[in-house]
Copies of this chain bind each other. A is one copy, B any other.
Amino acid sequence: MSERELPDGTTERLDRDAPAPLHAQVSEQIRTRIVSGDWPPHYRLRSEPELAADLGISRGTLRRALATLIRDGLLVQVRGRGTFVTSTAIEPSIAQKLNTLSEDFARQGVSYTTEVLSQRVIAAPPPLATLLDLDPGQSVLHLERLRSTTTGPVAWLVNYVRTDLAPGLDRADLADRSLFGLLENDHGLKITTGRRTFSATAATGRVADALGVPEGFPLLYLEQITYLYDGRAIEYSDVWIHSERMRVTSLLSRR
């Protein structure tokens, strides 16, 4: 039985003879700190060597303990920046990189499901035709999807995609494949840049129903236009995000 003082002065006990392996004891101690609020959301943990030394354990044991908490969504690790307590289970960096939600979920090991509610070719309404450099009335794929994690529905996604650039997309499997993945890998399109705008909006109608929130509930609202390497717009989207379940995070440099 070893007794160590943690940086905040409290004492933690690790029992090397207990049936629970050491890494599991450590992850439980850290979990308690997070759940109790001792380590609040956004808190950056001390470096691995410091933390391992404080706890009197090897870095390997510490890493296993941290891996458990990362898998459970309580911590997030950012290369070169450190390990942070998450504010909610999921924190995609979609304001900082042109990733899709599904790519961010996959990288963070978040399991999710996608329900396709609409996938059909429609005549582009005028403002959308302008945004996508189409003639009014030209065909676009209209896609409505609901993305859920184990915590429940997190995002309602509506996309309008230029079918002239990606024929057959109306028959593609968009429940299991990512839209960007299909465009890039199956259609050979080179997506290079995107413009995303974030605001807050009140939930209404179908969006409120799908996300399981009352009318008026504040949602994070993302509008996006995506461009190909040659400057053509390929896709416009509206995304409504249940931000109690998913927050958008950016790690930024000053210079």
Using CB atoms and an 8 Å cutoff, list the residues of chain A in contact with chain B.
8, 37-44, 81, 84, 87, 91, 95-98, 126-128, 130-131, 191-202, 216-221, 223, 225, 233, 236, 241, 243-244, 247-255
Minimal Cβ-Cβ distance residue in B for A37: B127
Q: Is A220 a contact of B233 with CB atoms below 8 Å?
A: no
Taking the nearest CB of chain B, how far is it from the CB of A104, in angstroms? Answer: 13
Q: Is B193 a contact of A81 with CB atoms below 8 Å?
A: yes
Partner of A197, one of B191, B219, B225, B247: B247
A254-B197 in contact given A42-B223, A42-B225, A44-B233 (Cβ < 8 Å): no
Besides A41-B223, A193-B251, A200-B218, 18 other CB < 8 A contacts? A8-B130, A42-B131, A42-B195, A42-B223, A43-B130, A44-B225, A87-B197, A96-B250, A98-B252, A98-B253, A193-B254, A195-B252, A196-B249, A196-B252, A198-B220, A199-B247, A200-B200, A200-B221
Taking the nearest CB of chain B, how far is it from the CB of A167, in angstroms? Answer: 22
Q: Which 10 A-B pairs have the closest CB atoms?
A: A95-B95, A199-B243, A218-B218, A40-B127, A200-B200, A98-B252, A200-B218, A200-B220, A198-B248, A98-B254
A193-B97 in contact given A218-B219, A225-B42 (Cβ < 8 Å): no
Q: Is B39 a contact of A130 with CB atoms below 8 Å?
A: yes
What residues on B are CB-neighbors of A199 within 8 Å? 87, 220, 243-244, 247-248
Per assembly, the copies of the chain total 2
Taking the nearest CB of chain B, how far is it from the CB of A254, in angstroms? Answer: 5
Q: Is A96 a contact of B98 with CB atoms below 8 Å?
A: no
Minimal Cβ-Cβ distance residue in B for A223: B42
What residues on B are CB-neighbors of A254 within 8 Å? 98, 191-194
Partner of A249, one of B40, B42, B195: B195
Taking the nearest CB of chain B, how far is it from the CB of A225, in angstroms? Answer: 5
Minimal Cβ-Cβ distance residue in B for A38: B130
